[in-house]
């Protein structure tokens, strides 16, 4: 399904393991790894919560769309996108046209275990972050599915197994 020049784009909710899996996958496939959140922080010199605070979610999304457009236009990359990247129909169409899209699909419980102590995700800074995560899951699961060429169930799998599975599916 993929060759040396094809991009692989990882989508999924916060805590799905896009960055961890993406880094290892890129190493295995000899591709460059990028993470859209990391690029936003690096370029703007501020954290994601600060971008949300100063510009609101809408401002963050504008920056996110622009950086995803730029990074996905490169050749031979693995790109981990932020969990909300699929909210825009335009970005969904863009992702589909720029590479093989992989949805890392975990259960709400697993996503919660991985994000529960994290203060760096503004959307989860609510009175009931687990309920919020469940809500986001319900809203976004159809969008991740719509955009994905490959869906990988991450339940109870370690990163090495996931990457091996992905390599097989992408071969
Ligand atoms: C977001 C997910 C985060 C980050 C921002 C918004 C979301 O990325 O982009 O906090 O809307 O789900 P990760 O999925 O890498 O945590």
23-78 residue pLDDT tens: 999 999 999 999 999 999 999 999 999 999 999 999 999 999 999 999 999 999 99
| Cα 138 to averaged position of ligand 1 atoms, centre (Å) | 16
The CA-based angle 95-99-100, given to 5 degrees, is 100
* Residue 19 pLDDT greater than 70, yes or no: yes
Residue 13: the pLDDT is 98
Residue 122: the pLDDT is 96
Q: Which fold has domain 8-155?
A: Rossmann fold (3.40.50)
Q: What number is the ipTM of this complex?
A: 0.98
Contacts of 98 (CB under 8 A, 6+ apart): 7, 9, 72, 73
pTM score: 0.96
* Residue 83 pLDDT greater than 70, yes or no: yes
Per domain, the residue ranges of the chain are: 8-155
Q: Is 37 in the pocket of ligand 1 (CB under 6 A)?
A: yes
**Helix or strand (DSSP H, E) at 93:** helix 89-98
Residue 156 pLDDT class (50, 70, 90 cuts): confident
Residues linked to residue 102 through DSSP beta bridges, in sequence order: 10, 150
Mutate to test the pocket of ligand 1, among 15, 18, 22, 37 (most ligand atoms within 8 A of CB): 37
Question: Percentage of the chain surpassing pLDDT 90?
Answer: 94
Mutate to test the pocket of ligand 1, among 82, 91, 135, 141 (most ligand atoms within 8 A of CB): 82
Residue 1: the pLDDT is 53
Average pLDDT over residues 122-131: 96
Alpha-carbon distances, residue 29 vs 32, 116, 123 (angstroms) = 9, 32, 33
First CA to last CA distance, the chain? 6
């Amino acid at each position: 399904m993929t060759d040396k020049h094809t991009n692989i784009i990882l989508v999924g909710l916060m805590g799905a393991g896009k960055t961890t899996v993406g880094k290892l996958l890129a190493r295995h496939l000899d591709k460059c790894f990028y993470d859209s959140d990391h690029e936003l922080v690096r370029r703007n010199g501020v954290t994601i919560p600060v971008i949300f605070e100063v510009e609101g979610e809408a401002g963050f999304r504008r920056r996110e769309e622009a950086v995803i457009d730029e990074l996905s236009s490169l050749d031979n990359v693995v790109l981990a996108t932020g969990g909300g990247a699929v909210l825009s129909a335009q970005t969904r169409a863009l992702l589909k046209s720029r590479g093989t899209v992989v949805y890392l699909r975990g259960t709400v419980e697993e996503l919660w275990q991985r994000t529960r102590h994290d203060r760096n995700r503004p959307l989860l800074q609510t009175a009931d972050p687990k309920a919020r995560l469940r809500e986001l899951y319900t809203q976004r699961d159809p969008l991740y599915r719509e955009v994905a060429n490959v869906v990988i169930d991450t339940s109870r799998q370690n990163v090495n197994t996931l990457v091996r599975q992905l390599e097989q599916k992408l071969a």
